[in-house]
Amino acid sequence: MIPYLSADEVFARLRPADAVAAVLSALRDGLDPAAGVPRSAVPLAHGDLLLMPAESARHAGVKLATVAPDNPSRGLPRIAALYALFDAETLQPKAVIDGTALTTLRTPAVSVAAVHPFLPGAPRVVVFGGGPQAAGHVATLADVVEPASVTVVTRGGVAHAFPPGTISLRAGSPEVGDALRAADVVVCATTARTPLFDSALLPDSAIVVAVGSHEPDAREVDAALCARATVIVEDRATALRECGDLVMAIAEGALTPERLLPMADVVRGAVPVPSGRPVLFKGSGMSWQDLVVAEALLTH
């Protein structure tokens, strides 16, 4: 019988720090994100079906994800997913994994891996969003480098658990500006289509992670931050196709494609990273990430 890893099993099997380590190890061992198959979308009557296939030396896998925009009004998650894992040689099924939990685990693992070389000790963290990815990024940061403080900024309240002592602020309140001026790490994990804050508030030492969108006409950070920051992406071609934060900044003349640093090069120390300016990691999610973390789940 093919094993099924439930959401509880996913989180019990693999700590966030181990997921980060799996991503770093795969990239250091030569995994090339640019060689992956792009995500494809199939329009449905009530949303979209996303297909995300990937292959390694040991396994092939595919994530099937649905996006149902009306689900929150029904009290249901906007995104649902399953992950199917196969043996690379025989192509026989090896496991089925709760894809939503896998995404919740792997997305912050990729973010933290991308900015890992720059993370300070005991960072002051500001998170925009109260959903699973916001909570997942806090949990992953806490497992890798214990934050000194966590401030969560939302428009309608927090839907997921955050650590004791977390400060909750309403978007647009004056306290948000104060938190940004003192922030070491800012995480953007929302469905916003326009910038969440004025990036002029950020210190030059800030690290910003933006993962809420994968559409060319939606963005969570402004063009001024893209102009000012060292910009890291999962893959340059994917970013130019899917990452509206960057696509629109380029269209507005604030950024050039050549300035986008692939995270694999950053992780391997293959590119010089300028100092004295913010670091921006823009992620949209790629198929190789699910496979890397799914393989790590099977070995823990």
The predicted structure's pLDDT at residue 158: 66
- Shared domain check, 238 and 120: yes
- Within 13 A of 283's CA, how many CA atoms are on the CB side? 31
Q: How confident is the model over 168-194, as a mean pLDDT?
A: 95
Determine the average pLDDT of the residues in 65-82.
Answer: 92
Quick one: pLDDT at residue 275?
A: 84
In sequence order, the β-bridge partners of residue 127 are 152, 187
Residues 205-255 pLDDT 10s: 999 999 998 899 999 999 999 999 999 999 999 999 999 999 999 999 999
Note the pLDDT of residue 161.
81
Whether residues 187 and 209 fall in one domain: yes
Domain span holding position 90: 4-103+288-299
Average pLDDT (49-57) is 96
| pLDDT score at 159 | 60
Share of the chain above pLDDT 90, in %: 88
Distance CA 124, CA 113 (A): 18
Same domain, 71 and 181: no
Q: How confident is the model at residue 77 (pLDDT cuts 50, 70, 90)?
A: confident
Residue 300 pLDDT > 70, yes or no? yes
166 and 120 share one domain? yes
Across the chain, mean pLDDT equals 95
Residues 76 and 118 in one domain: no
| Count: domains in the chain | 2
Are 95 and 146 part of one and the same domain? no
The rounded percent of the chain whose pLDDT value lies above 70 is 99
| Residue, of 94 and 191, whose pLDDT is higher | 94
CB atoms within 10 A of CB 263: 23
Q: Which residues lie closer than 8 Å to 125 by C-beta, 6 or more apart?
A: 138, 141, 147, 149, 150, 151, 183, 184, 185, 186, 187
Question: Does 154 share its domain with 267?
Answer: yes
Asked whether residue 186 falls in the same domain as residue 228, the answer is yes
Same-domain status, 56 and 163: no
Q: Which amino acid is at 55?
A: E
User: Do 18 and 152 lie in a common domain?
Assistant: no
CATH no. for residue 95? 3.30.1780.10
Asked if residue 37 and residue 125 are part of one domain, the reply reads: no
CATH code: domain of residue 252: 3.40.50.720
For the record, the structure tokens of 180 come out as 């940004």
Question: What tens digit of pLDDT does each residue of 108-161 get?
Answer: 999 999 999 999 999 999 999 998 999 999 999 999 999 999 999 998 766 668
What confidence score (pLDDT) does residue 272 get?
Answer: 85
Verify that 186 and 256 share a domain, yes or no. yes
Lowest mean pLDDT among 11-25, 49-63, 158-172, 278-292: 158-172
pLDDT level of residue 19 (50, 70, 90 thresholds): very high
